[in-house]
Structure 1
Amino acid sequence: MKILMAVVLLGILAALGSAGLFMLRKPRPGQPPGRDNRMARALAVRVGLSIALFLFILFSYWMGWIQPTGIPR
């Protein structure tokens, strides 16, 4: 369970990093500046992974696979 969540978190960070790189790069030669949608696609992947991870955590709690530990005193 922890490994799956860590892999999804790494995927979210990778999508965020690739969106940042696409934002900083110059447009391809011969293409108008506003026509490149790779950054938007990478951000959409990041949002989708974040929502999927949140729903998976809620589902895991509902199924009893994970349990809150609380704050130690």
Structure 2
Amino acid sequence: MLVKLLILALLIGIVVALVFGGVFLVKDPSTSRRTVKALSWRVGLQVALILFLILAFFMGWLKPHEVGGH
């Protein structure tokens, strides 16, 4: 259950960073670096999510289901 909550938190963080990046892109002046920071956070969170999913799979915390149920 804790693994699923961490995955959900990372996904929510990715979406929030993407929204902030879009808002900063539209509202801020061109000299502002907030858009770059927000989108950098998004990329960092995505990398963390992928690495965590790989770790969770190899540690046995996540198990893929079989297609077709065989």
TM over 0.5: yes
Q: Distance in 2 between matches of 1:4 and 1:26?
A: 32
The percent identity for this pair of structures is 37
Q: Structure 2 regions of 5+ residues with no counterpart? A: none
Residues 1-73 of structure 1: pairs in structure 2 closer than 5 A: 1-27=3-29, 33=30, 35-72=31-68
Q: Structure 1 regions of 5+ residues with no counterpart? A: 28-32
**TM-score under structure 1 normalisation?**
0.85
Q: Distance in 1 between matches of 2:67 and 2:23?
A: 38
CA RMSD of aligned residues (A): 1.2
Deviation at 1:26, TM superposition (A): 3.9
Equivalent residues, number: 67
Q: 4+ runs of 1 displaced by more than 6 Å?
A: none
